[in-house]
A = this chain, B = another copy of it.
Amino acid sequence: MLKGLLSVLLVLAALSSAMGKPEKTTPKEKKEKRIPQTLSRGWGDQLIWAQTYEEALFWSRSKNKPLMVIFHLEDCPHSQSLKKAFAEDKDIQKLVDEEFVILNLVYETTDKHLSPDGQYVPRILFVDPSMTVRADITGRYSNRMYAYEPADMKLLLSNMQRALKFLKTEL
């Protein structure tokens, strides 16, 4: 995990530097047919994704389902490997589909509750239908409490079940 942080920071630095530049497109690039962007961004094409945090909160309250928010970056190798594991894990995909409202974001929201220990990627936060961020549902890394790695899918699944359990006992 630790050795990965530097590369994540480098990616973030590269990204923010790229974002600051005016867009440069060559005539060749313009002619190429683009692949339509999906809301899933590869995290599960068969899931129904919320587009924005406001929309996700609305669905969470309406359906009384916990919300799962994935922060990631398309060019970040740690995000990519987590995405692959997440999308290929049938148990997780099934449980998300049946019991969760789901949102993935590549841009931070203005809500600081969604970054209890800072803004980094990848990280996964749970929010219950009463709109409380479940800062107590964490991964296994003390320096980045909401980070998961591909090997952590069982922990993530068990955290999802905890989010559902809270729902039944606390609401």
> Is the C-beta of A6 less than 8 angstroms from some C-beta in chain B?
no
- So how many copies of this chain end up in the complex? 2
Closest to A59 in B: B19
Q: CB within 8 Å of B: which of A10-53?
A: 19-20, 22-23, 30, 33-34, 36-40, 45-46, 48-49, 51-53
> Is the C-beta of A58 less than 8 angstroms from some C-beta in chain B?
yes
Q: Which residues of B contact A34 (CB under 8 A)?
A: 45-46, 48
Number of interface residues of A (CB under 8 A): 33
> Is the C-beta of A155 less than 8 angstroms from some C-beta in chain B?
no
Q: Are A110 and B54 neighbours in the complex by a CB distance under 8 Å?
A: yes
With A33-B46, A34-B48, A46-B33 in contact, is A63–B107 under 8 Å at CB?
Answer: no
Interface 0/1 of A67-99, CB less than 8 Å to B:
000000000000000000000000000000100
Q: Are B54 and A109 neighbours in the complex by a CB distance under 8 Å?
A: yes
| 5 interchain pairs, CB-CB under 8 A | A19-B58, A22-B63, A34-B45, A39-B51, A54-B107
